[in-house]
Structures are given as C-alpha cells and as structure tokens.
Amino acid sequence: MQRVGSRFQRTLAAPAEIRGVGLVTGSRVRVRFLPAPADSGIAFVRTDLPSSPTTPARADRVTATNRRTTLGPADAGVTLVEHVLSALAGLRIDNCLIEIDGPEPPGLDGSARGFVDVLQAAGTTLLPGRRAAYAVTEPVVLARDGATIAFHPPEPADGFGLRASYVLDYGPTAAVARQAVSFPIAPETFTRELSGCRTFLLESEATALRAQGIGKHLAPSDLLVFGLRGPVGNTLRFADEPARHKVLDLVGDLALCGFDLAGHVVAYRSGHALNAALANTLLALQRQAATPKRVAA
C-alpha cells in the first residue's frame, strides 16, 4: 500500500443535532455532531452513561457485524453506526465528536438522508491538517461464505478518488432481483444517488427479527420489506435501491479505515462482516506503509 495524495481535513462549521427512534431498541435517542480538531477523527461519546465513555470509529474497534456494525463493548459501545459514518464519509467530514444518549443512532427512514441534511445545514470548514489518501499496488481480495470483496488499484480515469461497485444476488427465485451498481464516491454523487437509499430485508427476515424483540415498533412501511410481490406497503426510490443501500453501508464501513481510499472496491454479496474485514486489512497495510523503514547500519 502506498500514499498517493492528500487533502486538507474538514470538520463541521457548527454543531448539528438530530433526534429519533432507534431501529433496534425502539427508544428515543438524541445525537449531537460537534466540530473536532484536525487528526482527531470520528468518535462516539455515550452521554447517557457514567463517565461518558468514548469509542473511536476505527476498524479495530468493531465488535459485532451481525446485520449491522457495532463499535466498542456491548455495555458502552454503539451499534448500527454505518449510516452515520456513511453520511460523514460521503460528505468528507473527517473530524467529528458524536454525542449520543443511547446505544444506537436514530433509525430515521433506514437511510442516511436525515443525517446528511443536518450535516449539510451545519456546513463544513477546512482544517490545517492533511488527510492522506492510500492506494494498493495490487488487488486485495477477501472471500467468505460465497461473498467476495476486492479493493483494486486506482484506474487513471478515476484519478485518486474512490469508486464503489456492488453486485446484489440472492439467487434466481429471491424476492429481490439481482442488481449491480457502480458509483464514484464524492459528496454530490453520494448525496444525490446514495444517501436516501433505505435498508431492506425480506418479509421472512422481518418476522424472525420481530420474534426476537427487534423492530417490534416498526411497520413494514417504515423500512423496505420485500414480500413475494415486491415492497410491502412501500415504493422504491430507485429501481436498484437495495444495491445502492449496500454501497451506502460499504462507504460507512470503509470509513473505519480513518484515511481516504484511492481505487475501486468491488463487492459481491458482501455484508458488514466482510466489509469490516477489508477495512481492518487495509488499516493494517496502511500502518505498515506509514511506519518508517529501519536502515541497517
């Protein structure tokens, strides 16, 4: 892995706040996004707990990836962080302290649009520190349980930006048809094409989760629930909205690297577990690349 460029870091120009109900717990929660200095990165602060424990948004702090990404310990961490992190990364906000008075951010409509709206209203400001962009010199490929994710060196046409492609494939008889999408990840494109794409699940999955006590406060129309005839009580914002949401999740999970990525990430049926594994792999490669080499005497 090698450093291929840098840009000035950004933070918020003013605090931002959003309130809502958590998708998992159904509890009311408030989130405050606060400006932070250069090189501080993104961190979550649990203001509802004694001593307000802080968890950095970093790949090596991921503790669970079952249907969502969780950071930190079960009793003091934050779960379902991918939509918040995707909004910040999509808008290129590099440093932010996130105060949250519960174990998860508000679920909103299952997308990142609400977070994007309040962050854009607050505005951003440049910081004196630089944020490095790293690229691989050869593809890094991970595979697990029939899913793959690969990070490729940048193509000349894409410059030193990031492109994300996703192939969603649940099989020929699945309620969600096979879909493939590809997007350059930049603020305008992210806001317009990805931020409003909602999380989705099959009707059978929704029933199983409700039996576990998860999402009992939600109606099918609150999310994208797919039955045999398509969305239940809802309409798609894009014909390929599920695949676009997978890219939204991928952007949030890869934000856990803590540096810019230059290249093309291609995912086939990948979920949070494989996304986080790639982020951890790239973080380890970046640390090796950034460590000064010792010269023998």
Query: Rounded to an integer, what distance in angstroms lies between the CA atom of residue 224 and that of residue 189?
Result: 22
Left if phi > 0, otherwise alpha if psi is -120 to 50, otherwise beta: which for 73? beta
Q: Residue 152: what residue type? A: H
Q: What is the per-residue DSSP string for 36-57?
A: --TT--EEEEETTSTT--EEE-
At 221, list the tokens. Answer: 């129309």
Catalytically annotated residue among 83, 245, 264, 272: 272
Strand pairing partners for 163?
184, 264
Q: 3-class SS at 250?
A: helix
Q: Strand (E) positions, 47-187?
A: 54-56, 62-64, 70-71, 78-79, 96-100, 124-135, 140-144, 147-152, 162-168, 179-184
At 98, list the tokens. Answer: 């996130």
264 is catalytic: no
Q: 3-class SS at 17?
A: strand
Residues designated catalytic: 272
